[in-house]
Chains A and B, each alone.
Chain A
Amino acid sequence: MIEGKIRVVYAFNYQEAINELRRTYEVDLIALAIVMPDQEYVLKWKYISGNLNDLYQRITLRSGKGIAGQVFKTGKSLILENVHDEISINELYEYPILQFEQIKSCVSIPLFKHHRVKAVLMFASRKPNGISEDFYQQVIYDLGDSFGPLFIRELLAN
């Protein structure tokens, strides 16, 4: 019983955390994709703040697919300062979150546990160049080593 209570107290609230991040950085959208190990290792956008609709719930990404899948596979942040310049209109369908939420600019950061990507945190803007390399550096600096129980850099001790 006591153990359960303690766990509740210490549980990290992702939803509140991303709401807070959105207020702090004044971006249009923040979303967190989580690896679902019980469903053949796919990623789903589980937490979102600033969304236009609930279409994101339809998306299930495999390794290498979509924004979250690519970040998951490479373990590297993905910065798209201007979506239109970097993804051809014919390939945009492979990134449903960008279409559904009309995202024009975004950065997606891998979050690790046990040296493995466990989640992908995306900051997005509906304006081209709304998110820049400088923004990314600032966020990484501000977040420090971790986001809740997850690590920002791969080789930090677990």
Chain B
Amino acid sequence: MNQVTHSQIIEFLMKMYKNSTEAIFFLDNSAKILSLNPAAERIIDPSVIESIKNGKAHTLCSLCRGYTSSEEHITCSNCYVNDKEGNFTSFQVYLDTRDKGIVPFTATYHTIDKENGIHVYMLRDLTLQYKQQEMLYRNEMLKKTFEAGENERKRISRELHDSVVQELISMLVDMRLLKYIQSHEEIHSRVKQTEESLNRLIADIRNLSVFLRPASLDDLGLEAAFRSHFKWVEHSYGFYVNYQSTINKKRYSQNIETSVYRICQEAVLNAVKYAQVLEVNVTLSEKNGKLELIVQDQGNGFDTERPDVKGSGLGIFGMKERADLIGGRLQIHSEIGKGTTVYLTLPTTQLEEKEVPL
């Protein structure tokens, strides 16, 4: 490698300062901006640049909106400018920018001249990276959604083939045999058996249909649909749902009813699957123009920051998506050993106008 002279390094550094896509600020001990490079100028408000150029003192604080610490998402406590001990080689900071509002950046902050108290502060725009991450997450979730849809179809197809078709074939065979039976008594007994099979088949098809979409939801509303669903949960899984509702027989728009029903169904099923308890409380009420659904169990709970994903990971994502679509807000509070609460709230005003077909 060629020996690089001191003056060349200075030249390189100057070029880097001028041409880098990273915003570079030189600050003094009180976070006053001493100098900033063109990349930095591009992100901050022109009036600020103007006043700096006119020799007015401007601190970084007028642009900075806080950073992400281990305790908080956006905070000013233990600010990197004042904290001499903290490690600020790489952290996330929020800055008020020229035309994009408050935007997250990856920042580094370190002292380059201790004697004179000069610090360098560099920023890298994270928006693109965030967007890519979000896209990746979305695609991943979309893939899982398709997969889940396909599995559901497979399940229904199997159910139709295994129970409905099989039962019908066996009845057909019974019917054919009837022709050859002489004894009146025998015919009577066979017909009775076939009748029994038909009844069972009707029950099977009815169950399949209710599972796909409960007719009671369309005909009678949330209240009735919940009651019959919870009865089913109780019978099938031996799991009690303590259901309390103050909405009576009130009806809401179809997409609200469907979404609330599905969100609740998912939340209750999660409790059945993972909470390791035998009951869950469900409360449905309407207060001050807001519909409120609470699903609460006293079970295992989980770490909401780092959930140990046991299923497809789609459940909670789907619940949030559904809540978003109807203008609702879904919150999940959970702590290991302290149970889980799913809290859904949505405005019920302008329901009538916002009838969007699903």
Binding site for B on A (CB under 8 A): 37, 40-42, 55-56, 58-66, 73, 89-90, 93-94, 96, 100, 114, 116
B204 is contacted by which of A63, A89, A90, A114 (Cβ under 8 Å)?
A63
Say if the beta carbon of B51 comes within 8 Å of chain A.
Answer: no
Measured between beta carbons, the chain A residues less than 8 angstroms from B238 are 55-56, 58-59, 96, 100
Say if the beta carbon of B324 comes within 8 Å of chain A.
Answer: no
Bound CA–CA A40/B240 (angstroms):
21
B237 and A63 within 8 A (CB): no
- B278 to A: closest C-beta gap in Å: 7
- A7 to B: closest C-beta gap in Å: 20
Q: How large is the interface on B (under 10, 10 to 19, 20 to 34, 35 or more residues)?
A: 20 to 34
Q: How many A-B residue pairs have CB under 8 A?
A: 56
Query: Which 3 residue pairs spanning A and B have beta carbons closest together?
Result: A58-B238, A60-B235, A96-B238
B162 and A61 within 8 A (CB): no
Say if the beta carbon of B213 comes within 8 Å of chain A.
Answer: no
Instruction: Please name 9 further chain A to chain B contacts, defined as beta carbons within 8 Å, in addition to the given A63-B163, A96-B237, sorted by A numbering.
Output: A37-B196, A40-B203, A41-B203, A59-B237, A62-B204, A66-B236, A90-B273, A94-B236, A114-B189
A58 and B203 within 8 A (CB): no
Instruction: Report whether over half of chain B's contact residues are helix, strand or loop; otherwise say mixed.
Output: helix
- B161 to A: closest C-beta gap in Å: 12
Known: A89-B310, A114-B193, A116-B193. A58 touches B163 (CB 8 A): no
Measured between beta carbons, the chain A residues less than 8 angstroms from B203 are 40-41, 62-63
B237 and A93 within 8 A (CB): yes
A-B contact pairs, 13 of them (CB 8 A): A40-B203, A58-B240, A59-B236, A60-B236, A63-B200, A64-B163, A89-B310, A94-B237, A96-B238, A96-B239, A114-B189, A114-B193, A116-B197
Bound CA–CA A116/B278 (angstroms):
33
A41 and B237 within 8 A (CB): no
Bound CA–CA A64/B159 (angstroms):
9
Which residues of B (150-179) have their CB < 8 Å from a CB of A? Answer: 159, 162-163
Say if the beta carbon of B86 comes within 8 Å of chain A.
Answer: no
Bound CA–CA A42/B235 (angstroms):
10
B272 is contacted by which of A56, A66, A93, A116 (Cβ under 8 Å)?
A93
B200 and A59 within 8 A (CB): no
- B135 to A: closest C-beta gap in Å: 29
B199 and A93 within 8 A (CB): no
Bound CA–CA A93/B238 (angstroms):
9
